[in-house]
Amino acid sequence: MTALLSIRPLTATDAATYRALRLQALRDHPEAFGASYEDEAARSLETTAKRLDGGPLNCIFGAFAGDYLVGTAGFVVPDRSTKFRHKGLLVGVHVAPAHRGKALGRRLVAAVIDHARSHVVLLQAAVGVANAPALRLYESLGFRHYGREEKALRVDGAFVDEALIVLDFAAEG
Ligand SMILES: CC(C)(COP(=O)(O)OP(=O)(O)OC[C@H]1O[C@@H](n2cnc3c(N)ncnc32)[C@H](O)[C@@H]1OP(=O)(O)O)[C@@H](O)C(=O)NCCC(=O)NCCS
């Protein structure tokens, strides 16, 4: 029987389970994330718990199969100063391998979009140009390409170019 799947914002009480899934994501897909496994593994659980209590401009949604956290997608407004606070970032999108292909990624990103809509005008993301699953997912949810950052990441000596994509809430009909 498939455990009930649900999506909700994470809180500090989810810190240990979030940390475990996050480290798995960074170890398995170093080219997909700006953070590195080593940097994140060195962080304390308290730091992670604080991150999860960041408020509506710095939050992470989790997908649960029963009690188990199996996916995440985050939202952050990196610069809250007057001329920049209309821009948010979609970050940390990841679904555990055993739970992929079941629309969890889509539901997680949709949850971030719904949340972001009431806080920012633009929701931006950066995606490795070779990451076809993530690109297809974001494109199908309405993100459009506005650029490409060459050598955006350096992973084990190799460079990763990233596609810059955006969802413009002001342009929605
Ligand atoms: C990208 C990722 C989050 C997708 O999660 P998922 O739960 O498997 O995705 P879904 O089942 O919700 O699929 C939604 C859409 O994504 C796209 N997609 C998902 N997996 C795909 C694949 N293997 N190949 C091509 N497109 C794929 C499709 O457009 C799919 O829609 P469809 O089923 O109608 O064709 C998951 O593959 C993952 O965690 N990858 C590793 C980490 C990563 O790359 N994160 C993104 C960082 S920018």
CA–centroid distance, 80 to ligand 1, in Å, is 30
Atom number of ligand 1 nearest to Cα 126: 48
Ligand 1 center–CA 4 separation, angstroms? 20
pLDDT digits (tens), the chain, 173 positions? 567 789 999 999 999 999 999 999 999 999 999 999 999 999 999 999 999 999 999 999 999 999 999 999 999 999 999 999 999 999 999 999 999 999 999 999 999 999 999 999 999 999 999 999 999 999 999 999 999 999 999 999 999 999 999 999 999 87
Distance 103 CA to ligand 1 centre (A): 8
Number of domains in the chain: 1
| Index of the ligand 1 atom closest to the CA of residue 103 | 12
Q: Distance between CA 126 and CA 75 in Å, rounded?
A: 13
What is the β-pairing status of strands 87-95 and 122-128?
A: parallel
- Ligand 1 site, CB within 6 A: 29, 32, 93-95, 100-106, 127, 131-134, 136-137, 140
Predicted TM-score (pTM) of the model is 0.96
CATH number of the CATH domain containing 74? 3.40.630.30
Give residue 139's domain range: 5-171
Burial class for 18, CB neighbours closer than 10 Å (0-12, 13-18, 19+): buried
